[in-house]
A and B are shown apart, each in its own frame.
Chain A
Amino acid sequence: MSALLSALGAGFLFGIGLWVSGMSNPKKVLGFLDITGNWDASLMLVMAGAVAVTLVGFRFYRTKIPLPTLKDIDFPLVAGSAVFGIGWGIAGYCPGPAITSLSTLSAESIVFVVAMVAGGLLYRGKT
């Protein structure tokens, strides 16, 4: 199978997982992050299910393929993750769900993704 078709298939399976799990429903995501409201713990299980698979699956490939090696826990890691989390908590979209939600042509997903690309370019402009 060509590498491009393989990437397409992986993206497709990833996207189906997002829909099945409820991650592409921003109200459900916010329900998970809203610990002082009616907390919905479901999304903790999405991460648990996914990491259970990668923990096992990655063992077979870890040594063969060069992976990111940055080990330092530095300011950009912590500050960037905090900025990301703030945005995630505002709209309920992280990058994957936002992109697959574009398929609904909802105004909020279109606006979010355009702004997300702009935000990435803005950061690159600063470095």
Chain B
Amino acid sequence: MHDFTPVSALAGGALIGLASVWLLAANGRIAGVSGILHGIFSPPEAMTGPHGARWRAWFISGLLLAGLAWQAAGAPVPLREGFPLIWAAAAGLLVGFGTRMGGGCTSGHGVCGLGRMSARSLVAVIVFMAAGMISVFVVRHLLGVTS
């Protein structure tokens, strides 16, 4: 075990949880990032509730602003060198396709679904964590991709 950072992990996680409660309390929405992102690209007639696609764009803008603020504050930004872009493209395709098919990602099924004690989300979390662990083993250790 290395680089174990329990305090920042718990504190950051609590902030993520607070943001999710905030979005549900103030906007009546589930903070599932994959669903929010893909919703922006859905046809307008598929949008339900007040503000249709616009609140989604504002939430995503908040995520981007957080990254800019983090860097403006001079906080450490870990950049990775040498990860092959073809693997980044393949991974992005799988994540986009899989989160739509499965109806959620680490936030929607993980943070929010587990918070709602949804059995569906618990199954999703177990499956994507297990798949992620197998994937790292295959790609990093068997195929030797630098990541």
Interface residues in chain A, defined as those with a beta carbon under 8 Å from any beta carbon in chain B: 1, 3-28, 30-31, 33-55, 57-58, 60-62, 65, 67-68, 70-73, 76-96, 98-104, 106-109, 111-124
Contacts and interface: CB of A to CB of B under 8 A. Distances in A.
A11 B96 contact: no
Task: Determine chain A's interface SS by DSSP, over half rule.
Answer: helix
Interface string B59-82: 111111111111100010111100
A11 B60 contact: yes
A18 B66 contact: yes
A39 B1 contact: yes
Contacts of A49: 9-14, 16-17
B22 A9 contact: yes
B145 to A, nearest CB: 8
Interface residues of B, number: 112
B78 A112 contact: no
Interface string B96-137: 111111110111011110111111100111011111111111
A69 to B, nearest CB: 10
Given A111-B92, A124-B100, 8 more contacts: A14-B63, A16-B12, A25-B78, A51-B111, A58-B115, A61-B25, A85-B98, A100-B66
